[in-house]
Amino acid sequence: MPSDARLLLLDKNEVEALLLPDDVMQAVREAFVLHSQGEGRVFPVVRELLATGGVFGIKSGDVQAQGLLGFKAAGFWPDNRRLGGEPHQATIMLIDPATGRPVCIIDGNAVTTMRTGAAGGLGLRQLARADSTRLCLFGTGVQARVQLSFALQLLPALCQVRYATADGKPDAAFEAHFAHRCDVSHADDRNVAVSESDVVITATPGGGALFEAESVQPGTHLNCVGADTRGKRELPQGLLERVRLFVDDRAQARQIGETQWAPDTPCTELGDLLTGNAAVDRHPTDITVFDMTGLALQDLTVARLLHQRAGAARVGSSIAWSW
């Protein structure tokens, strides 16, 4: 057995330095396409509640033709906020499919944030009306910020943002972060904000319905990020029955996404739009929803990009990992 095998470790700072939004967008798009073409496999998701109050999950998959194999172990630990830490935690491992040996271990927090933002951006580009000018955002955390950043980048007409917070209070830091890019202000009435918006993005922990179904007007598009576990939801009861539903993975969305609340709702996978296997044919009065549960393939294509870039730049810690 070889005794000179190495394992590359990429920490938070190294990952953040190597991640570029446009490159992540391309890697995430590739993941959707591979999934649609049946070349990339997504294995059953592990997503379980812990006695500590956290949620632990594993997303894994492979692309056999490309020698790409790996997983992300991740979850949500709300008590981390009391410690001054980030509640979302993730670690990605790339594995040599020929031997089963680990090749690279990557801090997955920034990867998860960026690839989810990029997936949301692709959803907006495919499904939202190009002339959308008004957006309602639920949440002001890390994921809400990246979703809004991609939205402002990909919807050029977008100029007005109303946001809602869990405590119903304005978030001055959030407003300052985006004030130079749009007219941003706190929504005093979330139902009114939804009714006046062309795009709605929900990026919360998924603790319950965020607004009333009747507030969603014809022509609205919704990106839903927070429902990623059995029992979570952000959309009100009865809304999915009125919409044209799009998902990243049909089976996964019915298991842990918004679609779990209306599993018989017809849906289309976003990757099929990107490959031309399906068409949107959006009518002006259609309400569209993109139920985002996150694909393992997104983590793997972005992780491979980081592994290659780190090798070229000689970034990271290489440690002996002999057989």
Residue 176 φ then ψ, to 5°:
-65, -35
Query: What is the arithmetic mean of pLDDT over 121-126?
Result: 98
Q: What are the residue boundaries of the structural domains of the chain, listed by start?
A: 6-111+297-320, 120-294
**pLDDT one-digit tens code per residue, 238-253:** 999 999 999 999 999 9
Q: Which residues contact 49 (CB under 8 A, 6 or more apart)?
A: 55, 229
- Average pLDDT over every residue of 106-135: 97
How buried is 84 (Cβ within 10 angstroms: 0-12 exposed, 13-18 middle, 19+ buried)? exposed
Look up residue 313 and give its amino acid.
A
Q: What is the pLDDT of residues 82-99, one digit of tens each?
A: 999 989 999 999 999 999
Judge if 6-111+297-320 and 120-294 fold alike in CATH terms: no
CB of 194 closer than 8 Å to CB of 214: no
pLDDT over threshold 70, residue 2 = no
pLDDT of residue 236: 98
CA distance 199 to 137: 8
| Mean pLDDT estimate for the chain | 96
Q: What is the pTM of this model?
A: 0.94
Place of tokens 């379980």: 48
Of 30, 40, 29, 273, the residue nearest 150 (C-alpha): 29
Q: Is the pLDDT reported for residue 278 higher than 70?
A: yes
Helix (H, G, I), strand (E, B) or coil at 145: helix
Side chain identity at 45, as an amino acid letter? V
Over residues 10-36, mean pLDDT: 97
Q: Which CATH number fits domain 120-294: 3.40.640.10, 3.30.70.20, 3.40.50.720, 2.40.50.140?
A: 3.40.50.720
Does the pLDDT at position 1 exceed 70?
no
So what's the pLDDT on residue 4?
A: 81
Q: Which residues, in sequence order, are bridge partners of residue 9? A: 105, 317
Mean pLDDT along residues 120-141: 97
Report how far Cα 237 is from the mean position of its chain's Cα atoms: 22
Distances in Å between the Cα of 24 and the Cα atoms of 27, 119, 177, 288 are 5, 9, 22, 24
Show contacts of 172-178: CB within 8 Å, 24+ apart: 174/140, 174/144, 174/145, 177/145, 178/148, 178/152
- List, for residues 135-166, the tens digit of each pLDDT value: 999 999 999 999 999 999 999 999 999 999 99
Does residue 323 carry a pLDDT above 90? no
Letter for the amino acid at 117? Answer: G
Q: What is the DSSP string of 3-18?
A: S--EEEEE-HHHHHHH
Q: What's the pLDDT at 140?
A: 97
> Residue range 286-315: average pLDDT?
97
Q: Name the CATH topology of 6-111+297-320.
A: ornithine cyclodeaminase, domain 1 (3.30.1780)
Residue range 196-223, pLDDT digits in tens? 999 999 999 999 999 999 999 999 999 9
pLDDT at 257 over 80: yes
144 contacts 169 by C-beta, under 8 angstroms? no
> Residues of the chain with pLDDT > 90: what percent?
96
